[in-house]
């Protein structure tokens, strides 16, 4: 029986199968596979998505953290560029699955952890995203608080004024998040030119008023030997990789709407590493100029903003708020809200998942994480990189090496399907995750193996790829040769309007 249709490399369920699955406890309108018409995102949408998410304050200040650790400006930019090129690889590999089968991250995780086991990687991603949600909300709070304090002196004397702003801005983020990933298509188109133009204006202002770039770009590296540099470089590189390791996992949440593999791959390949590197350089150059202009290095753009007249503070605050909203909705709310929703698709809505994410973000104490760069790079980025690297490895190994990009899409939504494994858990995925996390952790306790922890994301990824591929050899969940062709109808593009089997609305299907 044909259960799915493949057209131009994109797989959708047949209308009959989609109707039959709509009553499943593992199905709802957010978690179902996308229809052919919903594959509408072009390359421009992915470019603006990434540019909008990269143009945020953590990206601006990332290089400053590396310089504070002893690097010069080009070593910091080189580390950032290399880290983003490396993390781009798993992003593109997992993007392929989302584009081809139109599934969100929690459903993709069912493939390699089982229908119940999928909660493990989904919630692991959710915890990290909630932390980032808190960080960006805290940054936006600082900007708004600066505006009010500069414009209204009485505001500075109001007890708990920062907490009030945090609560209000937190609420704004949660409300915007209700629209889900499709909102990013619009938000990205708005935020990208606004934040991009503002960054260029800031760079021009810094150069003009400082009469050049300032002393930071002339400051040499503090490392006198290659060994001393590498001791800082590798954990810093892991931190840079971990910055977007979250999106490397749940990128299917966005690529499930891609029009084609080519459009999403090209757009992401250029927009991510280039935007991160350029924006980090702007942060370094502007900060270098502040040494000349103000007599001290102002790495935090919120502190820099406070030096300007009120109307400039107002405009700058709006830009920071837009940037914080863009990255929070795109990178930090969609994934955890979907993970929470996946716990009980018939009772938990995406909106409720977004609210729970927001509450958990407060419990993560973002003000502590951002207290100093040691907490940020070594504590926050390094630790969760050690967790997410093995999960990335398992996802890549399962889709590319074990299943070779073939699956029975309908069985991801069947409680008794092949991807439920034993009692809903794929023990091989659990074992591979434990191995991928445990080996790098040894570096924390054995001095001679410290390099494992300093490169935890990379080692965890490759260890889990090897472990999972070995453990899954001959697994019954893998389609046998020729089985994919038996369940798949290969079609050409001939428009035929008929009611959408999933939504019940008049939709253009292609047969």
Q: Give the start-to-end residue ranges of the domains of the chain.
A: 4-510
Contact between residue 312 and residue 319 where contact means Cβ atoms under 8 Å apart: no
At the topology level, CATH places domain 4-510 in: Hydantoin permease (1.10.4160)
What is the distance between the alpha carbons of residues 49 and 192, in angstroms, rounded to a whole number? Answer: 8
Residues near 74 by beta carbon (within 8 Å), at least 6 away in sequence: none
pLDDT reported for residue 181: 59
pLDDT reported for residue 496: 46
What is the distance between the alpha carbons of residues 500 and 497, in angstroms, rounded to a whole number? Answer: 9
Q: Considering the entire predicted model, what is its pTM? A: 0.86
pLDDT reported for residue 246: 82
Of the candidates 497, 457, 432, the residue with the CA atom closest to the CA atom of residue 113: 432
Strand partners of residue 11: 6
Contact between residue 175 and residue 356 where contact means Cβ atoms under 8 Å apart: no
Q: pLDDT tens digits, residue range 124-175?
A: 888 877 877 887 788 788 878 887 887 788 888 899 999 999 999 888 888 8
Q: pLDDT tens digits, residue range 281-326?
A: 998 999 889 889 998 888 878 788 888 887 888 888 888 888 878 8
Residue 296's CB is within 10 A of a number of other CB atoms, namely 10
Of the candidates 188, 191, 187, the residue with the CA atom closest to the CA atom of residue 175: 187
Q: Which residues of the chain have pLDDT under 70?
A: 179-185, 369-382, 493-511
What is the distance between the alpha carbons of residues 372 and 374, in angstroms, rounded to a whole number? Answer: 5
Going by their DSSP bridges, the two strands 10-13 and 4-7 should be labelled as antiparallel
Strand partners of residue 510: 495
pLDDT reported for residue 180: 61
pLDDT reported for residue 372: 59
pLDDT reported for residue 378: 52
Kindly give the interhelix angle for 161-177 and 119-151, rounded to the nearest 10 degrees: 130
């Amino acid at each position: 029986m044909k259960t799915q249709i493949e057209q131009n490399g994109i797989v959708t369920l047949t209308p009959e199968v989609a109707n039959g699955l709509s009553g499943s406890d593992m199905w709802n309108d957010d978690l179902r596979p996308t229809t052919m018409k919903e594959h509408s995102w072009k390359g421009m949408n992915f470019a603006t998505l990434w540019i909008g998410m990269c143009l945020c304050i953590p990206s601006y200040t990332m290089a400053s953290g590396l310089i504070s650790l002893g690097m010069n400006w080009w070593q910091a930019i080189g580390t950032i560029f290399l880290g983003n090129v490396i993390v781009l690889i798993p992003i593109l590999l997992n993007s392929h699955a989302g584009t081809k089968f139109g599934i969100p991250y929690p459903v993709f995780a069912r493939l390699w952890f089982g229908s119940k086991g999928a909660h493990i990687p989904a919630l692991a991603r959710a915890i990290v995203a909630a932390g980032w949600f808190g960080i960006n909300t805290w940054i936006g709070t600082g900007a708004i608080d600066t505006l009010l304090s500069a414009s209204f002196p009485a505001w500075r004397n109001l007890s708990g004024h920062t907490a009030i702003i945090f609560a209000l801005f937190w609420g704004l983020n949660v409300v915007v998040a209700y629209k889900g990933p499709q909102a990013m298509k619009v938000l990205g188109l708005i935020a990208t030119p606004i934040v991009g133009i503002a960054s260029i204006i800031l760079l021009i202002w810094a150069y003009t008023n400082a009469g050049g770039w300032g002393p930071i770009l002339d400051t040499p590296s503090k490392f006198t030997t290659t060994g001393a540099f590498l001791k800082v470089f590798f954990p810093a590189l892991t931190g840079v990789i971990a910055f977007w390791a979250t999106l490397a996992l749940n990128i299917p949440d966005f690529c499930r709407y891609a029009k084609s593999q080519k459009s999403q791959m090209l757009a992401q390949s250029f927009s991510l590493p280039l935007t991160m590197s350029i924006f980090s350089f702007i942060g370094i150059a502007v900060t270098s100029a502040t040494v000349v202009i103000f007599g001290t290095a102002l790495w935090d753009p919120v502190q820099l903003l406070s030096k300007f007249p009120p109307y400039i503070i107002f405009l700058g605050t709006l830009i920071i708020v837009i940037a914080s909203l863009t990255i929070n909705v795109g990178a930090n709310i969609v994934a955890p809200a979907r993970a929470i929703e996946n716990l009980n698709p018939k009772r938990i809505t995406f909106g409720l998942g977004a609210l729970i994410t927001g509450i958990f973000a407060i419990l993560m104490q973002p003000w502590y994480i951002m207290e100093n760069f040691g907490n940020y790079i070594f504590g926050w980025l390094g630790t969760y990189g050690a967790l997410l690297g093995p999960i990335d490895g398992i996802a890549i190994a399962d889709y590319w090496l074990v299943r070779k990009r073939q699956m029975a899409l309908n069985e991801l939504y069947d409680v008794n399907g092949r991807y439920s494994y034993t009692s809903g858990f794929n023990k091989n995925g659990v074992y591979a995750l434990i191995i991928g996390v445990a080996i790098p952790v040894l570096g924390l306790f054995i001095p001679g193996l410290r390099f494992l922890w300093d490169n935890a994301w990379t080692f965890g990824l490759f260890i889990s790829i090897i472990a999972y591929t070995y453990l899954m050899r001959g697994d019954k969940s893998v389609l046998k040769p020729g089985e994919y062709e038996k369940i798949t109808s290969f079609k050409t593009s001939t428009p035929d309007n008929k009611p959408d089997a999933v939504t019940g609305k008049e939709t253009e299907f292609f047969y």
